[in-house]
Structure 1
Amino acid sequence: MTSDYGHLIGGLAGGITSTLVCHPLDFLRIRYSADEGSSTRPRYRNYWHAAKLIVRAEGIRGLYQGLTPSIIASPLSWGLYFHIYHQLHDYSGMSKQDPRFIVNLGLGCVSGAIVMAFTNPLWVVKTRLCLQYEYQIKRYNGFGDCFLKIWKTEGIAGYYKGFVPGLIGTVNGSIQFAIYNFLKDQRTQYLNIPNDTQLGPEWYLLFSSISKVLSTVLTFPYQVVRTRLQDHNTNYRGLIHCCQSTFKLEGIKGFYKGMVMATVKQLPTAVITYTVYEYAKKIL
């Protein structure tokens, strides 16, 4: 039986582990998603070329720009998400032996929206630190400096840039979590064992991979729009203007910039997070 805070601690552990391992991949995804074709940005031929240029200019640490807010926000997001989700699940009165996909999806959306309200400022800071290009004079000198400058120059609104597409993006996590739970529940039903029985690691690997790939493909455009709205190098008037500009200049493919790296990054992230989460919560 998992303790009241087992889901929270398990999510925190999974989030920290996956962030440390996968941050460089997410860093490259952000660089690609933000690239709207402006001449002021570096010209990367591919992901490998981008990584080489960044490492040549700043060393391996260049791939870890934005790690501090990420190492805070990612574990916090996962920990709160799992904890809030299971609290809402318990309050709903839904039996764990009779899971319903639509209810899981709805609970996931509500949980994601609550988490987003708390963590969006951290994601804004992360995006801006990741988009300080190697040939530019640095506007921000680290996490604390970026956080304070946003407050001084933009006020609280600056912390919530990209919040609306971020809310749309909660569907991503909700779809992922709902598919993951659905597959896990189908497996336990097939084996005719209790729904909360721990499965082998290969099943968590398979289910987390399938759920993440499907959710990423379905909802990736929100990540591009969110990244561009949070970028200090651009000046979009809002969500609609960003979408219109992206479509006009780049077509539909503009909404999928960085998806290859996102998929490459999301697979190990989901696998590590869910696997560590499942085992950590059992220990607790």
Structure 2
Amino acid sequence: MEQRDTLLHLFAGGCGGTVGAIVTCPLEVIKTRLQSSGVSFRAFYVPQVHLGTINGGSVVRPTAVSPGLLQVLKSILEKEGPRSLFRGLGPNLVGVAPSRAIYFAFYSKAKELFNDTFVPNSYPVHMCSAGFAAFITNSLMNPIWMVKTRMQLEKSARGTKQMNAIQCAKHVYKTEGIRGFYRGLTASYAGISETMICFVIYETLKKHLAGLRLSSSSGPVHEKATTDFIALMFAAAISKGCASCIAYPHEVIRTRLREEGSKYRYFFQTARLVAKEEGYLAFYRGLLPQLIRQIPNTAIVLSTYEVIVYLLGSRSK
């Protein structure tokens, strides 16, 4: 029975992650470009800024501004073509199913263990379970995410041949060795806080929704309606949105660490450089496409997971 439940969670988590990755890939590419240090601010000058001089004359200096979501989207479409919006989808599809499967399987197993240690289904249980599952998943999957990020950051003119996932992996190994595949791992560990916050909020909302349904339902409580899954999607969206806003800076640091040939070496060194050279607002570059991507993505992943677990779980009983 335990083995069947584990396989069920593996399958449900994998399906949810795959659907979410395909739907939201273009937004992830835009987000990654915005997070990187390679975004050309010079292409987004605001002209006609007049500055006074000592002799009373004036000079015109362009003022660099941060490019927005639509500007980066337009730049990618014009210079690289629509296919570039799906850069990194290959390793994403290769990695997202096993990563989500591993995550949900370890999360489910950890909840069983921590329920015996803490008050069952309490905040410490959800936080520890989410943190443990995220640590295992990040450690195992970082090489794939590293290749995905490198592919998303690669810029090439429209019509030119771009590296595929295997070529990119070979290039990383040739230039940086095995250690190159684990760049950004420390930032991923820092991002565990986002996962923990997300699941604490999600489980709290889910428990609240279950209580409302129990008090208002006149039919059998074991039967789930379509409205229940819609409510779960909203719960997932709210929880991910809150968590992303709180813990977002680690994503910018992780992207910088994964850039090829960059000056960024370690987590705190990267944080200091970004703050010194670009200001603290730079830690939130790409937040808008991240929220637009992650909120529906998380809603899709978690609701698909819940639906599959419910449907397959109920049929096997």
- TM-score w.r.t. the length of structure 1 is 0.90
Residue 77 (structure 1) shift = 1.7
Aligned to 2:272, the other structure's residue is in SS state helix
CA gap 1:177/1:196 in 2 versus in 1, 3 angstroms: farther
Aligned residues: 283
| Equivalent residue, structure 2, for 1:12 | 14
For structure 1, which segment, 226-235 or 121-130, has the greater mean C-alpha deviation from structure 2 after superposition?
A: 226-235
| Equivalent residue, structure 2, for 1:187 | 209
Matched, 1:212 2:240: yes
Aligned to 2:67, the other structure's residue is in SS state coil
Task: Give the one of 170, 173, 177 matched to 1:155.
Answer: 177
Residue 94 (structure 1) shift = 4.3
Contact in 1 for aligned 2:114/2:129 (Cα 8 Å): no
For structure 1, which segment, 50-59 or 82-91, has the greater mean C-alpha deviation from structure 2 after superposition?
A: 50-59
Q: Deviations over 1:35-94 (max 9, x none)?
A: 36667x865732212212212233211101111111122222211111111111123344
Residue 137 (structure 1) shift = 12
Unaligned runs of 5+ in 2: 45-65, 313-317
C-alpha distance in 1, partners of 2:306/2:114?
22
Provide runs of 4+ in structure 1 moved above 4 Å.
36-39, 41-44, 135-140, 193-199
Matched, 1:174 2:225: no
| Equivalent residue, structure 1, for 2:34 | 32
Matched, 1:272 2:274: no
Question: Which amino acid is the alignment partner of residue 262 of structure 2?
Answer: T
C-alpha distance in 1, partners of 2:113/2:189?
23
Contact in 2 for aligned 1:17/1:272 (Cα 8 Å): yes
Residue 253 (structure 1) shift = 0.2
Matched, 1:257 2:259: no
Q: Deviations over 1:18-43 (max 9, x none)?
A: 0000000011000001136667x865
Question: Which amino acid is the alignment partner of residue 264 of structure 1?
Answer: I
Question: Which of these two proteins has the greater Rg computed from alpha carbons?
Answer: 2
CA RMSD of aligned residues (A): 2.8
Matched, 1:21 2:23: yes
Residue 140 (structure 1) shift = 6.5
Contact in 2 for aligned 1:85/1:111 (Cα 8 Å): yes
Task: Give the one of 271, 278, 284 matched to 1:243.
Answer: 271
C-alpha distance in 2, partners of 1:94/1:245?
44
Contact in 1 for aligned 2:184/2:255 (Cα 8 Å): yes
1:105-120 paired onto structure 2 within 5 Å? 105-120=127-142
CA gap 1:113/1:137 in 2 versus in 1, 3 angstroms: farther
C-alpha distance in 2, partners of 1:216/1:172?
6
Question: Which amino acid is the alignment partner of residue 9 of structure 1?
Answer: F
Task: Give the one of 85, 110, 113 matched to 2:107.
Answer: 85
Question: Which amino acid is the alignment partner of residue 154 of structure 2?
Answer: Q
C-alpha distance in 2, partners of 1:34/1:196?
48
Aligned to 2:262, the other structure's residue is in SS state coil
Q: Deviations over 1:204-255 (max 9, x none)?
A: 1210111011100110000000000001152213222211110011111011
